[in-house]
Chain A
């Protein structure tokens, strides 16, 4: 630097209170507890039913393919969300838009698959305790996915407005926390309901 050049004093960057992140973490924790309760009830009732020698789901009623297909969708959506976060860190707005848009589309696809499966399964909700729990858990997860998709849409709009940048990543990180929770909850559904039944 040339001698005599005046350099403005560098101020310490303002530490943002990470309000949105903290609030999202709390809300996500509450949502996870909701599913934790449903899973606990599912396993508890299932254990009792099997211990009595009764049938849980009717033989062959829960197929692997729909659950696996949904898991693939959610796995891809987890990757696209990570892509969105990466793009946000590096101020790559175009990739950020594409990644968030793809994540939302995959979420909508997951909802579509769930609705299709509900129509296709041919298992009445009042067939047994097992089917009631199945529809409540999978249906509640569909609602959670819908909320996440709406949220992504909101973040996308704000990103278009220039509010999701490398210096202000809280928006994308917050929605990603919730989205990863959506994927994680589905992973449990896939493993313990679709596969282990």
Chain B
């Protein structure tokens, strides 16, 4: 790995920590910091769910504007401060190993990106906490704090963009000989696809934020910086279809884990590559903002938005079908008698794919005009299911690659338990919010029954279910973090605990001849053939 001078001389631990450019270390930083911000955003989500128990007024918070600040903080936090950074962290630690690179490309930029993101995340959270956030419907927030939040958001976007450039360059330019793009492991491939779409869409979000910031500062806002209009301009990044682009690497995680777990070669590697590319395309959501409404027809009622929603569901279904086929073909290698219980990461990654499928179905239902779900809590259901799927996928990924990243093992049982709790939590929130949406509850419920859309009476019990789901999701996240901390003091791990197929499990990737997308499996099969040939 590339070391800075400070990593090799007599620098203090703090100096080494701050100046490290090692991909593994940076990956762990992203994972650790993303976990902490995940807790913050999930707590905000629980508080908002608690507030929704009584739609008639503001019980937990002081006003509708305060509710809005926490409601929007939950979404921004979940997407840009938690899930995407966690996936970037996993990618930073794993992708260089998967392509056989000895370091990440532009290591100093990768480090700078992390610290920029971290300071930006802190600034964003501070902005929300000091009565700022991304505007409020009643324009009741502090303008300076709103400006601070926007600055924080811009730093977060800048950090994520820098890290993505490093990651993508590593995957494309750092590959060992023989590892063509068509042969790279699917986690790296999905990072490549997702990263491409992050690079195409995050600058659009930055443009929205810059306009709002410039318009907000020092004068009466003309339009973009008006406090009741900021969220409207930025919200496209936290709903259908953009969330699919953010969650996409979970597909790669699942397709890297399942074939190894069931001791079966993935028969549809190329098809999965094409399908994930398609999911990236349908996940391009920068067009879905109100500025691009044609007079009389909001962009969300346009044909492209509806087609996008159904295309996403079909692609997710096809991907799940591919995963199910791999499971079917390797079923004989699992279960009683096969001496190979389904490993925890495999269970979680399959569940993550199921959640993604559910999210795309909710997205498709939401786009059906007669259901009139666009402004309802079905929007939140779709976001929670998608980002929940990505979170569960990341849980599977950290359980799978954690031994390789940290060099120490942890409890797979606790990891599985935390993941299952999170899955139940995500499902409860998703289903309850979808049903509430059908009953007319608005996405943002405000502080009165009218602001909540005057939904049917049954919505109260559904909101209780959503609260239970939010709490379970938080408990699952706490369990996952506890298991991660426990790993730091765990027993020394085996270098290849799963019998992996791809280069990250090789002791020295440069000695492996890459003959297909599963070079280590090729080696194993060649050895087996030679052994059996010698025996016969």
C-beta contact mask, B203-218 vs A, less than 8 Å → 1, else 0?
1101110110011000
Main SS class of interface, A? helix
A44 touching B203, Cβ below 8 Å: no
| B531 within 8 A of partner (CB) | no
Q: Which residues of B contact A59 (CB under 8 A)?
A: none
B199 touching A30, Cβ below 8 Å: yes
C-beta contact mask, A130-147 vs B, less than 8 Å → 1, else 0?
001101100110000000
How far is the CB of A141 from the nearest CB of chain B, in Å? 12
For B169, give its contact among A19, A37, A41 (CB under 8 Å).
A19
Q: Which residues of B contact A30 (CB under 8 A)?
A: 161, 165, 199-200, 202-203
B199 touching A22, Cβ below 8 Å: no
Q: Which residues of A contact B214 (CB under 8 A)?
A: 125, 132, 135-136, 139
Q: Which residues of B contact A17 (CB under 8 A)?
A: 173-174
Question: In the bound complex, what is the Cα–Cα distance between A41 and B222 (angstroms)?
Answer: 15
| A126 within 8 A of partner (CB) | yes
Q: Which residues of B contact A128 (CB under 8 A)?
A: 222
For B291, give its contact among A36, A45, A140 (CB under 8 Å).
A45
| B12 within 8 A of partner (CB) | no
Main SS class of interface, B? helix
How far is the CB of B510 from the nearest CB of chain A, in Å? 14
Given A17-B173, A26-B169, A133-B211, are A40 and B222 neighbors across the interface (CB < 8 Å)? no
Q: Which residues of B contact A22 (CB under 8 A)?
A: 168-169, 172-173
How far is the CB of A139 from the nearest CB of chain B, in Å? 8
Q: Which residues of B contact A40 (CB under 8 A)?
A: 291-292
B204 touching A33, Cβ below 8 Å: yes
| B536 within 8 A of partner (CB) | no
- 7 pairs of A and B residues whose beta carbons are closest in the complex: A37-B207, A34-B203, A37-B204, A33-B203, A17-B173, A23-B169, A19-B173
B210 touching A27, Cβ below 8 Å: no
| B533 within 8 A of partner (CB) | no
Q: Which residues of B contact A132 (CB under 8 A)?
A: 211, 214-215, 222-224
A23 touching B200, Cβ below 8 Å: no
| A98 within 8 A of partner (CB) | no
What are 5 A-B contacts defined by CB distance under 8 Å? A22-B172, A29-B199, A33-B201, A44-B292, A126-B221
For A51, give its contact among B105, B215, B224, B295 (CB under 8 Å).
B295
| A38 within 8 A of partner (CB) | yes
For A38, give its contact among B164, B174, B211, B215 (CB under 8 Å).
B211
Q: Which residues of chain A (87-125) have a CB below 8 Å from chain B?
A: 125
| A18 within 8 A of partner (CB) | yes
Q: How large is the interface on A (under 10, 10 to 19, 20 to 34, 35 or more residues)?
A: 20 to 34
Question: In the bound complex, what is the Cα–Cα distance between A136 and B208 (angstroms)?
Answer: 11
| A31 within 8 A of partner (CB) | yes
How far is the CB of A178 from the nearest CB of chain B, in Å? 13
B291 touching A126, Cβ below 8 Å: no
Question: In the bound complex, what is the Cα–Cα distance between A128 and B223 (angstroms)?
Answer: 9
Q: Given contacts A23-B105, A30-B203, could you give 14 more A-B pairs where the C-beta distance is less than 8 Å?
A: A19-B105, A19-B169, A19-B173, A22-B172, A26-B165, A26-B168, A36-B204, A41-B207, A41-B291, A44-B292, A126-B221, A132-B211, A132-B223, A133-B211
| A48 within 8 A of partner (CB) | yes
Q: Which residues of B contact A188 (CB under 8 A)?
A: none
Q: Which residues of B contact A135 (CB under 8 A)?
A: 214
B206 touching A34, Cβ below 8 Å: yes
B165 touching A27, Cβ below 8 Å: yes
How far is the CB of B167 from the nearest CB of chain A, in Å? 10
Question: In the bound complex, what is the Cα–Cα distance between A135 and B223 (angstroms)?
Answer: 14
A29 touching B211, Cβ below 8 Å: no
Q: Which residues of chain B (278-293) have a CB below 8 Å from chain A?
A: 286, 291-292
How far is the CB of A55 from the nearest CB of chain B, in Å? 14
Query: Interface centre among B204, B206, B207, B286, by most A CB within 10 Å?
Result: B207
B172 touching A37, Cβ below 8 Å: no
How far is the CB of B487 from the nearest CB of chain A, in Å? 32
| A129 within 8 A of partner (CB) | yes
C-beta contact mask, B176-213 vs A, less than 8 Å → 1, else 0?
00000000000000000000000111111011101100
Q: Which residues of A contact B221 (CB under 8 A)?
A: 126
How far is the CB of B177 from the nearest CB of chain A, in Å? 10
Q: Which residues of B contact A31 (CB under 8 A)?
A: 203
How far is the CB of A38 from the nearest CB of chain B, in Å? 5
B222 touching A126, Cβ below 8 Å: yes
B291 touching A44, Cβ below 8 Å: yes
C-beta contact mask, A5-38 vs B, less than 8 Å → 1, else 0?
0000000000001110011001101110111111
B211 touching A126, Cβ below 8 Å: no
Give A139's nearest chain B residue, CB to CB: B214
Q: Which residues of A contact B174 (CB under 8 A)?
A: 17, 19
Query: Interface centre among B169, B204, B286, B292, by most A CB within 10 Å?
Result: B169
Question: In the bound complex, what is the Cα–Cα distance between A40 and B208 (angstroms)?
Answer: 11
Question: In the bound complex, what is the Cα–Cα distance between A40 and B200 (angstroms)?
Answer: 14
Question: In the bound complex, what is the Cα–Cα distance between A37 and B285 (angstroms)?
Answer: 12
| B106 within 8 A of partner (CB) | yes
Give A41's nearest chain B residue, CB to CB: B291
B211 touching A41, Cβ below 8 Å: yes
A29 touching B200, Cβ below 8 Å: yes
Query: Interface centre among A18, A30, A34, A51, by most B CB within 10 Å?
Result: A30
How far is the CB of B234 from the nearest CB of chain A, in Å? 12
Question: In the bound complex, what is the Cα–Cα distance between A136 and B211 (angstroms)?
Answer: 7
| B297 within 8 A of partner (CB) | no
A18 touching B199, Cβ below 8 Å: no
C-beta contact mask, B292-306 vs A, less than 8 Å → 1, else 0?
100100000000000
Q: Which residues of A contact B172 (CB under 8 A)?
A: 22
Q: Which residues of A contact B161 (CB under 8 A)?
A: 27, 30
For A37, give its contact among B164, B166, B173, B286 (CB under 8 Å).
B286
How far is the CB of A155 from the nearest CB of chain B, in Å? 16
B223 touching A38, Cβ below 8 Å: no
Q: Which residues of A contact B164 (CB under 8 A)?
A: 26
Given A38-B211, A48-B295, A51-B295, are A33 and B219 neighbors across the interface (CB < 8 Å)? no
Question: In the bound complex, what is the Cα–Cα distance between A152 and B222 (angstroms)?
Answer: 37
A23 touching B203, Cβ below 8 Å: no
